[in-house]
Structure 1
């Protein structure tokens, strides 16, 4: 029998494949299609709505590495290298 909590758990992170690391947080969010325009992304980061590896991250220029998980709203992406 499968655990009932599986359906209420967050979906698995969606991989976002980048050409090079490090990549800045704001760039990744825009590239991944999260948060709409650059202005909306900037505001979401500043307002503490973005999580990096489970912790609030408010620096738009934060450098990300392969394996970092970034969440905005109900969506989570994971940085992967091409």
Structure 2
């Protein structure tokens, strides 16, 4: 699955994205999930829940899909 994730702020964290996309149910699960799952940010593995995601970034979550970070500005 490929999906655009629109943000209204300059950035969002990886943990926030996982919660917003219902990959995890609570923000507290992000640390555990990222320890157990290899998430790729811009084609590099990243396990930091506080990783800042900016418009133009891509996040690949195994068995879930590919997410494209986009800005809502300009709509």
Structures share fold, TM-score greater than 0.5: yes
TM category, shorter: 0.7 to 0.9
Provide structure 2 residue ranges, at least 5 long, that are not aligned to the other structure. Answer: none
Other structure's SS at 1:38 match: coil
Superposition pairs of residues 1-82 of structure 1, within 5 angstroms: 11=1, 13-74=2-63, 75-82=65-72
Provide the TM-score with structure 1 as the length reference.
Answer: 0.71
Cα RMSD, aligned residues only: 1.7
- The Cα shift of 1:18 comes to 1.1
Higher helix share: 1
Moved over 4 A (4+): none
Provide structure 1 residue ranges, at least 5 long, that are not aligned to the other structure. Answer: 1-10
Provide the TM-score with structure 2 as the length reference.
Answer: 0.77
* Largest Rg, 1 or 2: 1
Q: Distance in 2 between matches of 1:23 and 1:29?
A: 10
